[in-house]
Amino acid sequence: MAKPLKFKAVDFFCGGGGMSYGMKLAGIDVLAGIDHEENCKKTYEANIKGAKFILADVFELKPAFLQRKLKLKKNDDELILIGCSPCQFWSIINTDKRKSKESKNLLIEFRRFVEFLKPGFIVVENVPGVLREKKESGLEDFIEWLEKEENGYQVHFSVHNVCDYGVPQSRKRFTLVANRVSNKKIFPAKVTEIPITVAQVLGENNGFPKIMQGHRDETDFLHTVQKVTDASMERLSYVKKDGGNRFGFADIKHLQLKCFIGRDSSFKDTYGRLWWNRPSPTITTKFYAISNGRFAHPEEDRALSLREGATLQSFPKSYKFYGTSISGIARLIGNAVPPEYAKHIGLAIKEHTNAI
C-alpha cells in the first residue's frame, strides 16, 4: 500500500478562518490564509495556530511570490488550494451589487494560482449563484480547463446543504472538489439524515444563559446582543414564540411597516423567530438584527447573540472573534464556511485518497 499523503492547504479569501479550522479538524496542515481585509488577521491567527496570515489583494498577488513565500512546489500531489471567495455579487440576497461587483471575478483570479501550481487538489465553496451564472462567474471555463486531458482533474461540483453535514443550519452552498491524484470524483458524504436542531445547540441547557436585548459580554464567549429599538421590541412582543413571524403585528397600524403593506408574501422571515426543533435559517452577516431576517431568539425578546450565531455556524464555543463592533464580528461569522462542513470536505479528500 502506498504511503499516506501528508496534506497541506492554502486558504484563499480565508476571512476569520472557518474553512481553515475545519481543514485542521480533518487533520490537514494549513500553511496559510490569504485575505485582503486586515480585520480578519487577529481572529485568524488566534485560532489557526501555525498558519501564516497573508494580507494581500488577490488581484495584485503573484503566484510566483506566493510559491517562494510558502516554499510551495508545483505539481504537488499533497497540496490543496482552497478558494472560498466573497460571494455577495452572486447571492440571491438583496444586496447592493455595485459594492460587490469587484468581487465577481475572484474565481477567475484564483484560477491563476491553480494553473501556476497545478496542486493535487482544489476546493471551491460559494453561493449557488455561481453555478446558476456559471458562464459569467468564470466557473464554466474553470471546470472545462480542469477537465482537459492534459490537466487531468476529476471534478465534482454540486449544491450541498450544510445541515446534512452536522451543521445546525440550513445553508445551501456550491461546492467543487477537483483532484488529479485519483481517477474518481471526491465529494463530502452526508453524515446525517436528521439535521441538528436549534434546541440541540442553543438555550440555557447548552450554556447560553438568558439575557436581555442590548446585553454586552466582555469575555471571549461574546454572548453579546444588538440593542433593539422600543418600536422593534413592541413588534417582537407580538411575534409568537418558536417560529412566529411578522404577521403577528401586521394588523396593528402603528407597528406595521409601510414596506410590508399589501406585500404579505414578501420577506416573510423579517422579524421572525427561529424554531427550536428545526435547523436555523442561513446565518448571514446581518444575523445580529431582527429586522434583517428570521434572527430573533425562539423565545427571548431579542436577536441572536454573536456566540449563538457562531454556534449555528458550527464554530466551537472556544473560537475567539475579534473586532471593534457587533456588525464587524457578525460579518466574520456570517461570511465563514461552517467549520464542520469544511471538516467533512477535508476528510473526504483524506479518506478517499489514502484508500487508493
Question: What residues contact 58, with CB distance under 8 A and at least 6 apart?
Answer: 12, 13, 34, 36, 106, 109, 110
**CA neighbor of 93 nearest in space, from 230, 219, 223, 281:** 281
* Locus of grid cell 470524483: 185
Please give the backbone phi and psi of residue 177, each rounded to the nearest 5 degrees, phi first.
-125, 120
Torsion of CA 63, 67, 68, 71, to 10 degrees: 170
- Annotated catalytic residue: which of 40, 84, 87, 163? 87
User: Active-site residue 87, yes or no?
Assistant: yes
Report the half-sphere exposure of 298 (CA within 13 A, side-chain side). Answer: 19
Calpha distance 54→36 (Å, rounded): 8
| DSSP letter string, 16-67 | TSHHHHHHHHTT-EEEEEEES-GGGHHHHHHHSTTPEEEE--TTT--HHHHH
Element (H or E) spanning 328, and its range?
A: helix 326-335
Q: Indicate the residue type of 269.
A: D
Calpha distance 239→232 (Å, rounded): 11
DSSP state of 301: S
Q: 40: which 3 cell numbers?
A: 480578519
**CA neighbor of 284 nearest in space, from 242, 327, 324:** 327
**CA neighbor of 302 nearest in space, from 286, 310, 312, 291:** 291
Residues recognised as catalytic: 87
